[in-house]
């Protein structure tokens, strides 16, 4: 794939995911104000933390326990934020060297920027996908957070708009094309099932980490991947299909 085509595909994916996720920021703004935060507190939290799951964990605990629940809110947000450490390991080669660039990348290393970047087939596309997705969501999310905080009382129950479903659908659109073999299908299904079972039982933050652990246990050993030796055979067969069987050498021709 050429660099031009790679950048084009990365831009399309970045905008599709970025706009869908940014719209969900209005929910955070409205819920944060309802939980007792001022508009400026809501916006500062969104600008500085910029991790949707952690932000919702904070306001969820504050809404139920007030300022006395601040330690629990911080603990839940920290648990959810740990997954970004795993993302950083994956996107580090994509970002490249330079401490200023890495410092900026650290703030933009979220679920969506990692997902879009790793879904691209070339390094050029991965870099475009990472930076463009991160910047689109950072700007869009914070603008929608401000709108939600200002219009919180007028919006009412923001869950009825289904914005969370739009964000999930954008993720599914990234994952679906990659489910072409047994290994990624097993990893995706196992992680989803474990997360769904754990959500009603475990505190906020832990279901995500448990699902990630399942993905690592199943994914790293490549338990359901191709068997050793099958890839060279397929490559050899492809060469035969394209060029035909090799011609016999001079000795074989006279036998």
pLDDT band at 250 (very low <50, low <70, confident <90, very high): very low
* DSSP-assigned letters across all residues of the chain: --HHHHHHHHHHHHHHHHHHHHHTHHHHHHHHHHTT--HHHHHHHHHHH--HHHHHHHHHHHHHHGGGGHHHHHHHHHHHHTHHHHHHHHHHHHH-S-HHHHHHHHHH-SHHHHHHHHTSSSHHHHHHHHHHHHHHHHHHHHHHHHHHHHSHHHH--GGGG-HHHHHHHHHHHHHGGG--SHHHHHHHHHHHHHHHHHTTTSPTTHHHHHHHHHHHHHHTTTTTSPPTTHHHHHHHHHHHHHH-SPPP-HHHHT-
pLDDT band at 43 (very low <50, low <70, confident <90, very high): very high
Averaged pLDDT score across all residues of the chain: 75
Q: What is the pLDDT of residue 14?
A: 92
Q: Are 80 and 208 in contact, with CB atoms under 8 Å apart?
A: yes
Q: What is the pLDDT of residue 87?
A: 85
**pLDDT tens digits for range 91-138:** 999 998 888 999 999 999 998 899 899 889 899 999 999 999 999 999
pLDDT band at 249 (very low <50, low <70, confident <90, very high): very low
Query: CA 183, 189, 194 angle in degrees (round to 5)?
Result: 125
pTM: 0.66
- Token reading at 216: 């690592």
Average pLDDT over residues 47-64: 78
**pLDDT tens digits for range 141-165:** 999 999 988 887 666 555 555 555 5
Q: Are 194 and 188 in contact, with CB atoms under 8 Å apart?
A: no
Q: What is the pLDDT of residue 229?
A: 47
Q: Are 211 and 192 in contact, with CB atoms under 8 Å apart?
A: yes
The widest CA-to-CA distance across the chain, in whole angstroms, is 92
Cα–Cα distance, 89 to 114 (Å, whole number): 10
- Token reading at 41: 């507190």
pLDDT band at 198 (very low <50, low <70, confident <90, very high): confident
**DSSP three-state, residue 254:** coil
Question: What's the N-to-C CA distance of the chain in angstroms?
Answer: 46
pLDDT at 56 over 90: no
Q: How far is CA 182 from the centre of its chain?
A: 21
Tokens 């601040």 belong to 70
pLDDT at 18 over 70: yes
Average pLDDT over residues 17-46: 86
Sorted by where each begins, the domain ranges of the chain are: 3-174, 179-244
> Which segment, 83-87, 184-188, 208-212, is predicted with the most confidence on average?
83-87
Q: Are 121 and 27 in contact, with CB atoms under 8 Å apart?
A: no
Average pLDDT over residues 226-245: 43
């Amino acid at each position: 794939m050429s660099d031009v085509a790679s950048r084009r595909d990365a831009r399309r994916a970045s905008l599709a995911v970025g706009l869908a996720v940014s719209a969900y920021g209005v929910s955070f703004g409205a819920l944060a104000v309802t939980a007792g935060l001022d508009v400026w507190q809501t916006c500062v939290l969104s600008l500085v933390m910029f991790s949707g799951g952690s932000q919702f964990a904070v306001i969820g605990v504050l809404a139920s326990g007030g300022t006395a629940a601040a330690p629990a809110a911080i603990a839940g947000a920290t648990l959810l934020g740990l997954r970004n450490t795993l993302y950083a390991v994956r996107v580090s080669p994509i970002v490249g060297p330079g401490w200023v660039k890495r410092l900026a990348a650290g703030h933009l290393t979220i679920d969506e920027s990692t997902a879009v970047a790793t879904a691209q087939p070339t390094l050029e596309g991965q870099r475009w996908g990472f930076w463009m997705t991160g910047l689109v969501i950072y700007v869009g999310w914070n603008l929608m957070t401000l709108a939600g905080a200002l219009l919180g009382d007028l919006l009412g129950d923001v869950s009825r708009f289904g914005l969370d479903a739009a964000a999930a659908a954008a993720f599914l659109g990234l994952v679906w094309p990659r489910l072409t073999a047994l290994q990624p299908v097993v990893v995706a299904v196992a992680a989803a099932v474990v997360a769904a079972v754990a959500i009603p039982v475990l505190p906020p933050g832990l279901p995500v980490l448990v699902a990630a652990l399942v993905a690592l246990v199943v994914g790293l050993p490549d338990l359901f991947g191709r068997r050793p030796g099958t890839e060279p055979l397929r490559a050899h067969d492809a060469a035969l299909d394209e060029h035909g069987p090799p011609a016999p050498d001079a000795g074989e021709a006279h036998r």
